[in-house]
Structure 1
Amino acid sequence: MEKKQVSNYMTHDVVSVEASQTVGDVIRLIKTTGHDGFPVVRGGRVVGYISARDIIGEHPEIRADQRMTRHAITATPTTTVTEVARRIFRTGIQKLPIVDSAMQLKGIISNMDVIRSQIERVTPEKVFNFQRALKTLYGVGSTLKREAVPVSAVHPTQSAVHQDELEGRMYELQ
């Protein structure tokens, strides 16, 4: 089975914070973007990560690089999604900056991107196995519901579909 790489799921257009920006700047970015944290860069190189938690109660004039988490956990575009999932699970973080070998910011991947990559791998057999496991282990029953979903309500989860993948997932189109 082909290992899915971060490059297929990461967001390429990343909002970042310059190390010299202030806590006040970060607060404004949180309000305008809805994001709760940002890679901190100096000259395009990732030097840390700053989140809302890092700046709670801080004076707005304090520099971002004074409150950021240093040594941000990162990944590269060729890192597998499985490895990123491990890093997220072990650390409890929600987003990883994606960098090249020179630590230049290339993108970001979130825990939701990782979940999305796993949803794409779901088959009817896996669903039935999961149902059985819930019942056996926890005594929890579940019901499957099959219904039509309007195409307008479907959101793409990947940027491209390859012919061999489409053939392998024909059951979804029936």
Structure 2
Amino acid sequence: MTPIEFDDVRVDAYMTTDVDTARPDEWVTDVVDRLKDGVEYGGLPVCDDDGRLLGFVGAIDLLEVPGDDPVEAVMSRDVVVVRPEMKVKNAARVILRSGHQFLPVVDDDHELLGLFSNGDAVRSGIERTTPSKVESTREMLERTHGASVGVSERSVVVSSLIPTQREVYADELEGRKYELQHGLAEPLIVLSYGCETLLVDGHHRALAANELDVERMQAYVLTVSPDEVGELGLRRMARIGGLVSLADVTVNDYLTHPLVEKTEPSR
């Protein structure tokens, strides 16, 4: 996807559509119970029976409110909303300037279609940059080996990946775990070479997935036939480094490095 194409990406391509809502006549005590169960957005959009957005009720709206009060008595009615056809980049600017963590998405009849969050904005930016990396990797392989390289998108089995990088860093590994747990992880870039799948880009993400027992990850798959190329440079790199599986990758923790010191706490 080129930058120009990304400029045309709409909010409805990234918004969350499975959204829990509250009714205006619902009792406050019932909403409190639902919020205690861990509602993702810290509150609930309030909609009528036809699905039209009337407001939003969050935890702060319910403080010291009698449990038998109706939600419509305490909900916020001044809600910033966006349309599904709005460009992602513009919705991200609204989130940044308004300070909201998410925006309800409504149609012309004010019917709630979904929510667009700051996490969706981040995810859209991640997915924008990946194709350029895929293309540059493909061009490098074709230039180096004089072979045609196919490109596809599919999920791959994490445990079957052959790494081409000897070490990763503990702090970045934790960051990739967070991204995986919140649906923000960038796809891997792998190379299919006969019966083998070489990991080209995304070693931290793959190791994080392995530690979290994630069996499969989305990936851009570059394909080279062994009939065209006797031995790929990346395959040779893995062989020389003794890299057979993700278990062979070393996790480097700067905080335990012998050249990193910790000061003693003052007494």
Fold match (TM-score > 0.5): yes
Q: Greater relative contact order (Cα 8 A, min sep 6): structure 1 or 2?
A: 1
In structure 1, how many angstroms separate the alpha carbons of the residues matched to 2:99 and 2:43? Answer: 14
TM normalised by structure 2 equals 0.47
In structure 2, how many angstroms separate the alpha carbons of the residues matched to 1:93 and 1:42? Answer: 23
Matches within 5 A, 1:34-53: 34-35=39-40, 36-43=42-49, 44-53=51-60
* Candidates 14, 31, 36, aligned match of 1:31: 36
TM normalised by structure 1 equals 0.70
More strand by share: 2
In structure 2, how many angstroms separate the alpha carbons of the residues matched to 1:66 and 1:40? Answer: 12
- Give the structure 1 partner of residue 121 of structure 2: 114
In structure 2, how many angstroms separate the alpha carbons of the residues matched to 1:121 and 1:154? Answer: 22
Q: Rg larger in 1 or in 2?
A: 2
Query: Which amino acid is the alignment partner of residue 24 of structure 2?
Result: A
1:117-143 deviation per Cα after TM superposition (whole angstroms, max 9, x unaligned): 1122236x99xxxxxxxxxxxxxxxxx
In structure 2, how many angstroms separate the alpha carbons of the residues matched to 1:98 and 1:155? Answer: 29
- Give the structure 1 partner of residue 23 of structure 2: 18
Report if aligned partners of 1:47, 1:71 keep a CA contact under 8 Å in 2.
no
In structure 1, how many angstroms separate the alpha carbons of the residues matched to 2:25 and 2:35? Answer: 17
1:38-65 deviation per Cα after TM superposition (whole angstroms, max 9, x unaligned): 1111231101111112212222222111
Matches within 5 A, 1:18-167: 18-35=23-40, 36-43=42-49, 44-122=51-129, 147=203, 149=206, 152=214
Query: Offset at 1:97?
Result: 1.2
Change in 2 beyond 3 A, CA 1:111/1:25? same
Change in 2 beyond 3 A, CA 1:9/1:155? farther
What SS does structure 2 have at the residue aligned with 1:122? helix
Report if aligned partners of 1:98, 1:109 keep a CA contact under 8 Å in 2.
yes
Query: Which amino acid is the alignment partner of residue 31 of structure 1?
Result: K
In structure 2, how many angstroms separate the alpha carbons of the residues matched to 1:57 and 1:116? Answer: 37
In structure 2, how many angstroms separate the alpha carbons of the residues matched to 1:155 and 1:12? Answer: 22
Change in 2 beyond 3 A, CA 1:105/1:121? same
Count of equivalent residues: 145
Query: Which amino acid is the alignment partner of residue 107 of structure 1?
Result: G
- Give the structure 2 partner of residue 134 of structure 1: none
> Which sections of structure 2, spanning at least 5 residues, go unmatched?
134-171, 174-201, 223-233, 235-267
Sequence identity percentage: 31
Compute the RMSD of aligned alpha carbons.
3.1
In structure 1, how many angstroms separate the alpha carbons of the residues matched to 2:217 and 2:10? Answer: 20
> Which sections of structure 1, spanning at least 5 residues, go unmatched?
127-143
In structure 2, how many angstroms separate the alpha carbons of the residues matched to 1:18 and 1:107? Answer: 16
